[in-house]
Amino acid sequence: MTYNQSRLRRANEEPVARDADYVLYWMQAFRRLDHNHALDYALKCARELKKPLVVYEGLRFDYPWASARTHRFVLEGMVANLAAAEALGISYWPFVATPGARGQGLLRALTARACLVVTDDFPCFVVPDQIAALARKSERAVLAVDGNSVVPLSLLGAPVFAAAHLRPRIHKAFADAWRHRSSATPEVPDIARRRVDPPFAVWNGGIDETLAALPIDQSVAPVRVRPGGKPAGRKRLAGFLADKLQGYAEHRGKPASPDDGMASGLSPYLHFGHISIEEIIAGVLTQTYGTTEVTPGAPGKRDGFYGTDPNVNGFLDEAITWRDVGYHWHWTRREDTESLDRALPPWARQTLASHAADGRAHVYSLEQWEAAATHDKLWNAAQIELVRTGTIHNYLRMLWGKKVIEWSRSPDDAYRTLVHLNNKYALDGRDPNSYSGILWCFGLFDRPWPERPVLGTLRYMSSDNTAKKFKVDGYLRYVAGLAAR
């Protein structure tokens, strides 16, 4: 049993009801049945209490930016979980809300029969408020488990304003955390497999008819070439390991189509919990070194910590350090992301304020941004890619954000625009890294640069400079094909 106590947080002070019917795992963020610290802990409780395990996964339709795109991705994950639960022999109860069956009071009713509730301690979007609401109303113990990263977020200390400050903390704790990673194959005791009949009609896996009946944004269409679910996430990981990892260090920044670029494409699967960062790391290490074990190098250095291969170090520093920067920021300062002024370091606030009255060469409305109707063909291409595919090439995502700041009436307008566009269209939106990536464009986790109009001392990026640094013709042809279809 590999479980780390530092991942556990009591959300209320209610007791464990030892004579109740089952242990309830409320799956919200880590939507998978392996490599899952919350599932491991729920199974531990079931074993100790000698009770069956019930896994409840719900999907509302009234969450912010609800669309056919995000809904289908989650539903495809639920279909995968139906099969995985059957293989494990555990009770899995998926519920998909509809206008005629919204599920009001359902979770509380399930909780009333539970010994305790175990859930996912995800630090962003609607999850923290949902945990707090259940914990406040429930008469059962509610325990939240942090399975977000390799190193438990509670061990990473105070907030930081630079990745270079967080990297040594991660490196220092990595070896011990890696030894205590989640179970690749859950250890399910016989008692946890004892069947429990659900008190409602569980969702039967009919995706198309479900989507068609929901009052969600149907204009944001599903991305059929990027399905959700654990099997799809594993297929994406296998393709990255086989075809892209060995070119990652040199070519990861080059704008290109998904087929030609070196990006992993794993962020949507990480966001929806269809694959674990620990499984990705294990795959990278095994592919390169033939083992999941690693002897860490000198802590704090960007290169060399995860072995001698520069591709492994480049990818894992992005997947661990930079990903954890966003998660740790939300863990420690979640409320600050609601206000641009509260989120930014003093130098960034000051420079934006001092240039607030600067004339803008262009000013676009939200409708123009959304329609990719600017004067800049590379920015338009990035926006079209986002709308059509749910993603933007990693380097162009930074350019995309910078130009919205430069061509908006105010920094606050720019922030609202970026949050809306990203969370509406991106498959990996509504995530800690969505906000940290956007805030990076405003100076968070960065440093002052030479002063310019509008941006002040924020880092400057332009389409002309990008076209000089990279050959972008192939990327533009790829996006033109998307627009034509």
pTM across the whole model: 0.97
Tell me, yes or no, if the two domains 149-187+229-333 and 339-484 fold the same way. no
Burial of 453 (0-12, 13-18, 19+ CB in 10 A): exposed
Predicted local distance difference test score (pLDDT) of residue 483? 87
Domain boundaries, the chain: 1-147, 149-187+229-333, 339-484
| pLDDT tens column, 136-189 | 999 999 999 999 999 999 999 999 999 999 999 999 999 999 999 999 999 999
pLDDT of 342:
93
Specify the 3-state DSSP secondary structure of 94.
Answer: strand
- In the sheet where 8-10 sits, what is the strand order? 8-10, 141-145, 114-120, 22-27, 53-59, 91-96
| Predicted pLDDT of residue 485 | 79
Query: Pick from 338, 325, 319, 312: which is nearest to 249 by CA?
Result: 312
To the nearest 10°, report the CA torsion of 345, 347, 352, 355: 170
CA distances from 40 to 61, 154, 243, 246 (A): 29, 19, 32, 33
* Of the candidates 85, 11, 79, the residue with the CA atom closest to the CA atom of residue 52: 85
- The DSSP element (H or E) to which 23 belongs, if any, is strand 22-27
Residue 57: strand, helix, or coil:
strand
**Parallel, antiparallel, or unpaired: how do β-strands 141-145 and 114-120 relate?**
parallel
- Of 24, 87, 35, 34, the closest CA to residue 58 belongs to 24
297: confidence class by pLDDT, cuts 50, 70, 90: confident
Q: How confident is the model at residue 313 (pLDDT cuts 50, 70, 90)?
A: very high
Does the pLDDT of residue 20 top 90, yes or no? yes
Find out whether 173 and 155 touch, Cβ atoms under 8 Å: yes
- Which residue carries 């000013």 as its tokens? 363
What mean pLDDT value characterizes the chain?
96
Query: Which pLDDT belongs to residue 2?
Result: 47
At the fourth CATH level, the homologous superfamily of domain 1-147 is HUPs (3.40.50.620)
Q: Residue 338 pLDDT more than 90?
A: no
Which CATH class for the 149-187+229-333 domain?
mainly alpha
For the segment 275-298, the average pLDDT, to the nearest whole number, is 94
| pLDDT tens digit sequence for 356-408 | 999 999 999 999 999 999 999 999 999 999 999 999 999 999 999 999 999 99
Closest to 313 measured CA to CA, from 298, 327, 326: 298
Place of tokens 């990203």: 422
CATH architecture of 339-484: Orthogonal Bundle (1.10)
231, 307, 354 from 450: Cα distances, Å: 47, 36, 14
pLDDT of residue 136: 97
- What is the Rg, in whole angstroms, of the alpha carbon atoms belonging to the chain? 23
State which amino acid sits at residue 207: I
Residue 10's DSSP bridge partners are 143
